[in-house]
Amino acid sequence: MSKRIVVKIGSSSLTSEQGGLNRNQVKFFADELASLHAEGHQVLLVTSGAIAAGFRRLGYATRPKLVHEKQAAAAVGQALLMQAYQEALGASGIAAAQILLTRPDFSNRGRAQNATRTIEELLKQQAIPIINENDTVAVDEIKFGENDSLSALVANLVKADGLYILTDMDGLYTGDPRKMPEAVRIESVDTLTEELYQMAGGAGSSVGTGGMRSKLDAARIAMRGGVPLFVGRVSESGDLQAAAAGRGKGTYFVPALHSLSAKKHWVGFLSDPQGKIIVDGGAEDALLNRGSSLLPAGITAAEGDFHPGEVVEVVGSDGRVLGRGISNYAPWQITAVAGLSTDEARKRVDVARIEVIHRDEWVAATILKEAHANE
């Protein structure tokens, strides 16, 4: 059966500690991806390595530490990286497509939809989208730094059937095997516990960034999106196909069966609320206990500067956050109809939908907390 597969390859698998791209490794991974592609799967690649590939070419002796230096190194290395993938995938007749993303590309629904549409078209045309963070424009507050979380967000965005995070270690161990030789591999994980986080350490080499800790962060994102995840090593021909078939050298993370719709997932976990709507006790009960939409009658006020279609928090009369949803109204329209019956409201405002927040575009705070508790 054809699957949609996101593969993430870390800097440590593609570059050497002294800097520079290992073209043989790029060729090896490109061939692995081409094999999956030839089996009829839709393949997306999230690749790191721009900074590590570029710093020596730019004249730095070691991987730079300052943000603008890393950005400069990435600008050089990203071109080298893409050139190597183009060449290696081209040999199998596959077009390699570069996509550079930053955090707002996920939190802004319009941008997320645009990215999705482009990716869908590339997949339809049998290309392999090759994704990295847009390092030259990402500043501190919006930077992923490592690509593990980025790959999980991509997997959720495209509703992947699986995410494969490839690294230099064959899975998550009970401790960092570089420091604890007695550590043993964990074969499968269905709940992310504090204990697991204690076992996961930082990066294993000077070119890697997040270590196993950032891979667990990625697992948290992928699992709440319902995407199964594999973290492990692909070092011999056929390893990636084996991993995709459930026989990989690594750890499998199995998400809970139920998951939110893509839209609710975006509202709950990716969006950036732009304001607040304050509601009375009746609306609170309707939203939290009766699965209803938010109607004008239960609203007391709106705060913030948001536009219809943007996400807002819904707050009870005591200030507690009840959840968040997409507002179909601007704040002035809410003020005009707050407390009115639906019929009265219809006479005062011209809106696409009379529900201020539709139930399909609403996520209760309890669901968000539950998701965190299970992580």
Ligand X SMILES: N[C@@H](CCC(=O)OP(=O)(O)O)C(=O)O
Ligand Y SMILES: Nc1ncnc2c1ncn2[C@@H]1O[C@H](COP(=O)(O)OP(=O)(O)O)[C@@H](O)[C@H]1O
Annotated binding site for substrate: 48, 135, 147
Interface with ligand X (CB under 6 A), residue total: 17
C-beta separation of 64 from 55 below 8 A = yes
When asked if residue 71 is in the footprint of ligand X (CB under 6 A), the reply is no
When asked if residue 64 is in the footprint of ligand Y (CB under 6 A), the reply is no
Instruction: Pick one of ligand X, ligand Y, none as the site partner of residue 157 (Cβ within 5 to 8 A by kind).
Output: none
C-beta separation of 143 from 209 below 8 A = no
Closer by beta carbon to ligand Y, 112 or else 216: 216
Instruction: Pick one of ligand Y, ligand X, none as the site partner of residue 199 (Cβ within 5 to 8 A by kind).
Output: ligand Y
3-state helix, strand, coil split of the chain in percent (to 5) is 40, 20, 40
Q: C-alpha angle 38/39/44, rounded to 5°?
A: 70
Stretch of residues binding ligand X (CB under 6 A), selected from 132-140, 315-323, 341-349, 354-362? 132-140
Closest CA to 226 of 189, 188, 265: 265
When asked if residue 176 is in the footprint of ligand Y (CB under 6 A), the reply is yes
Beta-carbon count within 10 A of 308 CB: 14
DSSP-assigned letter for residue 268: I
When asked if residue 250 is in the footprint of ligand X (CB under 6 A), the reply is no
Q: Would strands 311-315 and 321-327 be described as parallel, antiparallel, or unpaired?
A: antiparallel
Binding letters toward ligand Y, positions 81-110, x by CB under 6 A: ------------------------------
Q: How far is the CB of 1 from ligand X (least distance, A)?
A: 29
Instruction: Pick one of ligand Y, ligand X, none as the site partner of residue 64 (Cβ within 5 to 8 A by kind).
Output: none
The helix (H) or strand (E) run that includes residue 24 is: helix 23-38
Q: Would strands 321-327 and 357-364 be described as parallel, antiparallel, or unpaired?
A: antiparallel
Stretch of residues binding ligand Y (CB under 6 A), selected from 132-140, 153-161, 206-214, 280-288? 206-214
* 288 strand-pairing partners: none
Instruction: Pick one of ligand X, ligand Y, none as the site partner of residue 248 (Cβ within 5 to 8 A by kind).
Output: none
Tokens 């609710």 sit on residue: 264
Binding letters toward ligand X, positions 31-70, x by CB under 6 A: -----------------xxxxx------------------
Q: Which of residues 140-169 bind ligand Y (CB under 6 A)?
A: 167-169
DSSP character string of 129-145: EEEEE-TTT--GGG--S
Q: Which of residues 8-27 bind ligand Y (CB under 6 A)?
A: 10-13
* 253 strand-pairing partners: 189, 229
Closer by beta carbon to ligand Y, 220 or else 264: 220
Closest CA to 152 of 58, 224, 246, 65: 224
Instruction: Pick one of ligand X, ligand Y, none as the site partner of residue 333 (Cβ within 5 to 8 A by kind).
Output: none
C-beta separation of 232 from 171 below 8 A = yes
Closer by beta carbon to ligand X, 11 or else 293: 11
Closer by beta carbon to ligand X, 89 or else 130: 130
When asked if residue 149 is in the footprint of ligand X (CB under 6 A), the reply is no
User: 81 to each of 28, 116, 118, 153, 168, how far by Cα in Å?
Assistant: 14, 23, 21, 22, 19
Please give the residue ranges that form the binding site for ligand X (CB under 6 A): 10-11, 48-52, 74, 132-133, 135, 146-148, 208-210
